[in-house]
Amino acid sequence: MSKFDYTKALVPSTPESREANLTKVFDLLASRLRIVIDPQEHCAKSAIVDRSLLHTAVTILRDTPELGFDLLLDIVGIDYLNYLDHQGPRFAVVYLFKSLKVSGQRFQLKVLVDEEDLVVPTISDLYSIADWAEREVYDQFGVRFEGHPNLKRLLNHFEFVGHPLRKDYPATKRQWLSTNDPMLDQLEARLKHNGFELLDPVPVNTPAVEDVIKGSRQ
Amino acid sequence: MRVIDKEGEKLDLLSVNIGPSHPATHGSLRAICAIDGEKIVAASCEIGYLHRGFEKMVERGTYQQVMPYTDRLNYCSAMLNNIGFCKAVEGMFGIELTERATVIRVIISEMSRFIDHIICVAAALADLGAQTAYFYLFVPREEGMNIWEKLTGARLTNSYARIGGLYRDLYEGFEEDTLRLMTLTEKGLSDVLGLVDRNKIFLDRTQGVAAISQKDAISYGWTGPCLRATGVDRDMRKDEPYYGYETYDFDTVVGSTGDTYDRLMVRIYEVRESISIIRQALKRLKPGPVNVEDPRVSLPQHINAYQDMEALINRFKLVYEGVHVPKGEHYDGIEAANGELGFFIVSDGTGNPWRIKVRPPCLTQFAAFAHLVEGAMIPDAIACLSSINIIAGELDR
């Protein structure tokens, strides 16, 4: 990955070359994995991959030289509750990739997950940014990322109950949030990651959600 | 916090919060740092202090009503956000803009970009103690604000782009105002460069501070000037040209080491490229309509709406129901001042967006903040924070 010379400018892409690239990427990925283009009209731009194959698919996208998807742009959660003519699982997680090696090459991967079993494997070991991006999807939709090192809320307060971007979360609902997040657990994890040994770790004191709500109301 | 480091030495670390309310954390950001003396050995960040629920709010209105919300994303270059959102929606329709609207959008984009850059540089220098530079740069910025006020009616959170075109045409005298703004900016920048270019304090405070390698920057999803500061020559305006950027003559500015100095210098020199693009674009301005003639997106003329039944119905439906964006999912982005600003839109065919996800360039840069400042000193962390130009409105949405 580090051998590639990024300091050279790329040839500008055109809409046609981007279209051709997309087909090429899809064919290459389809020759190695079972992926489909969603038959539903509204999802037609993403390749759908089963969540058990997600990690493999992303590794192929990142490490195959002619694909070179070295940039993870974003991870998007979608809730299809009561979406017109939608069939299949309620939630989707879309991964947006961009290549810095091939001009104008982008790709979307999509994983569909049911409400009862909202688990997707993490890709935070492949891209550093996936750490925060996955935390955001967890925060807003409640999708759990298996293997994530620190699956905490990112944008909402840590006492917040529920997942606000779900379609059944009322937009006008209010919650009383009061306590600060001490964040010492995160800092200690980071210290350990940097090679320090903790002599007197702060005791882990994570109150139950019910206690937090009760405490906030007093 | 008592710890043993890698060499087996016992240390007594202190945990310190930088932010959330601190003059140097432009907006509300929080970083908790474990410090050994004045050196940061571990850091962890928290965001969300300015989380307004942008993505939930926009689902309740029509596509046109999203426009003022986008201004509040990156409020230093509000009109770039409008343009980014409009481009994504227009991509779903497959609309081609009129020639005049395209050129005006390029001018407005570049103007927003360089004003964003000079705010970043000015604030960064003020954080380093160079208050004079701040005033040198805020003179042209004020001139820019006056232009925006004349153009849109608002100084800071101005919205100018509309789906299918623009809010209105340029006002009379826009060209002269812009030329004066650019002269002022060039003068301000050369004054500032004269102050800091070979200034020992500035160089010591920024060179080699909080550097990031190309590999790490890419893994953190960096785009825009911060990525270019590491030497990666990528710019959406060059690689995936839109609005005819391939026909303008400009260079991408790249750094080499990816430290605080490079990030600031890339911004300073990008201002010159933006000014050169505007000079070329002003020459291409030809009279013509600024909105497409497409009943799906643009409001009919008032004169028609009052005289013609069909036009009245069209106007009524566009205002009350919103533009009916074709069903589907679409991602599109632009090269904003901070990097790639993208909008992922899910439409169910009605006038209200089903889901809009913003891809803010700031988030990727702040996600790497802990990585950047570890090993640096606390004052370096402040210099680093202002060089990555975090705009909390965009970061927290």
- pLDDT for position A137: 92
CB pair distance less than 8 Å for A184 and B214: no
Tokens of A197: 């040994």
Whether A117 and A36 map to the same domain: the answer is: yes
Cα–Cα distance measured from residue B72 to residue B55, given in angstroms and rounded to the nearest whole number: 12
The correct answer on CATH 1.10.645.10 for the domain covering B54-396 is yes
Cα–Cα distance measured from residue B21 to residue B30, given in angstroms and rounded to the nearest whole number: 8
Residue B384: how many CA atoms within 13 Å on its side-chain side? 26
Q: Which of B18, B217, B243 is nearest to B110 (CA)?
A: B243
- Cα separations in angstroms, A92 against A62, A141, B98, B149: 21, 10, 36, 42
Q: Which of B334, B309, B389 is nearest to B80 (CA)?
A: B334
Closest CB to A155 among B1, B48, B221: B48
Whether A58 and A99 map to the same domain: the answer is: yes
Cα–Cα distance measured from residue A73 to residue A94, given in angstroms and rounded to the nearest whole number: 11
Percent of chain A with pLDDT over 70: 88
What is the pTM assigned to this prediction?
0.88
Q: pLDDT (tens digit, 9 = 90+) per residue, B318-372?
A: 888 888 888 888 888 899 988 899 999 998 888 889 999 999 998 999 999 988 9
Tokens of A15: 């809409």
Is the C-alpha dihedral spanning B185, B186, B189, B194 positive or negative?
Answer: negative
- Evaluate if residue A1 carries a pLDDT over 70: no
- pLDDT for position B86: 92
Interface A–B counts its CB contacts (< 8 A) at: 184
Alpha carbon B130 to its chain's center:
24
* B364 contacts on A by Cβ (under 8 Å): 129
DSSP codes of every residue in B22-91? -TTSSSS-EEEEEEETTEEEEEEEE--TT---HHHHGGGS-HHHHHHHHHTTSTTSHHHHHHHHHHHHHH
Tokens of B283: 């020459």
Whether A157 and A180 map to the same domain: the answer is: no
What CATH number does residue A45 fall under? 3.30.460.80
- Evaluate if residue A204 carries a pLDDT over 90: no
- Asked if A105 contacts A118 with a C-beta cutoff of 8 angstroms, the reply is no
Domain assignment present for A55? yes
Mean pLDDT estimate for chain A? 81
Whether A146 and A187 map to the same domain: the answer is: no
Residue B250: how many CA atoms within 13 Å on its side-chain side? 27
Domain assignment present for A125? yes
What are the domain boundaries of chain B?
A: 2-46, 54-396
First to last CA, chain A: 55
- Evaluate if residue A2 carries a pLDDT over 70: no
Whether A152 and A57 map to the same domain: the answer is: yes
Q: Which of B120, B85, B109, B16 is nearest to B345 (CA)?
A: B85
Q: pLDDT (tens digit, 9 = 90+) per residue, A156-183?
A: 888 888 888 988 888 888 888 877 777 8
Picking from A196, A197, A199, A200 by the largest number of B CB atoms within 10 A of its own CB, the best residue to mutate is A196
Q: pLDDT (tens digit, 9 = 90+) per residue, A80-91?
A: 888 887 778 889
Whether A129 and A211 map to the same domain: the answer is: no
Residue in this structure with the two tokens 């623009």, named with its chain if needed = B166
Pairing of strands A106-113, A47-49: parallel
User: Residue B171 contacts by C-beta under 8 Å, 6 or more apart in sequence?
Assistant: B150, B151
- Evaluate if residue A25 carries a pLDDT over 70: yes
Mean pLDDT estimate for chain B? 88
Range in A25-34, B215-224, B328-337 the model is least confident about = A25-34
Whether A65 and A145 map to the same domain: the answer is: yes
Whether A19 and A119 map to the same domain: the answer is: yes
Prior bond to B20 cis, omega within 30?
yes
Count other Cβ atoms within 10 Å, centred on residue A170.
Answer: 9
Q: How many domains are there within chain A? A: 2
Whether A111 and A24 map to the same domain: the answer is: yes
CA-nearest residue of chain B to A71? Answer: B221
Domain assignment present for A95? yes
* A153 contacts on B by Cβ (under 8 Å): 48
- Evaluate if residue A44 carries a pLDDT over 80: no
Categorize the per-residue pLDDT at A42 as very low, low, confident or very high, splitting at 50, 70 and 90: low
**C-alpha angle with apex A61: A57 to A165, nearest 5 degrees?**
70
Q: Is the ipTM reported for this complex over the cut 0.90?
A: no
Tokens of A93: 């997680």
Burial of B112 (0-12, 13-18, 19+ CB in 10 A): buried
- pLDDT for position A207: 60
Query: Which of A146, A165, A184 is the last residue before a domain boundary?
Result: A165
- Evaluate if residue A206 carries a pLDDT over 70: no
Domain assignment present for A6? no
Domain assignment present for A3? no
* B373 contacts on A by Cβ (under 8 Å): none
* A82 contacts on B by Cβ (under 8 Å): none
Domain assignment present for A217? yes
* A170 contacts on B by Cβ (under 8 Å): none
- Cα separations in angstroms, B97 against A91, B90, B102, B104, B298: 35, 9, 6, 11, 12
* Minimum distance, in Å, between the CA of residue B222 and any CA atom of chain A: 8
Is the C-alpha dihedral spanning B77, B343, B55, B385 positive or negative?
Answer: negative
Cα–Cα distance measured from residue B3 to residue A197, given in angstroms and rounded to the nearest whole number: 5
Cα–Cα distance measured from residue B389 to residue B337, given in angstroms and rounded to the nearest whole number: 10
Residue B186: how many CA atoms within 13 Å on its side-chain side? 11
Query: Which of A165, A185, A209 is the last residue before a domain boundary?
Result: A165
* Average pLDDT for A129-135: 91
CB pair distance less than 8 Å for B234 and A100: yes
- The alpha-helical segments, DSSP class H, found in chain A are 15-32, 54-63, 130-141, 184-193, 209-217
Q: pLDDT (tens digit, 9 = 90+) per residue, A51-87?
A: 888 888 888 888 887 788 888 999 999 988 888 877 7
- pLDDT for position A216: 47
Q: pLDDT (tens digit, 9 = 90+) per residue, B284-294?
A: 888 888 888 88
Domain assignment present for A8? no
- Evaluate if residue A218 carries a pLDDT over 50: no
Whether A87 and A185 map to the same domain: the answer is: no
CB pair distance less than 8 Å for A171 and B57: yes
Q: Domain range spanning residue A201?
A: 176-218
Q: pLDDT (tens digit, 9 = 90+) per residue, B106-126?
A: 999 999 999 999 998 998 888
Q: Three-class SS of residue B335?
A: strand
SS (H, E, C) B247-282: HCCCCCCCCCCCCHHHHHHHHHHHHHHHHHHHHHHH
The one-letter amino acid code at B15 reads: S
Burial of B288 (0-12, 13-18, 19+ CB in 10 A): exposed
* Average pLDDT for B142-160: 89
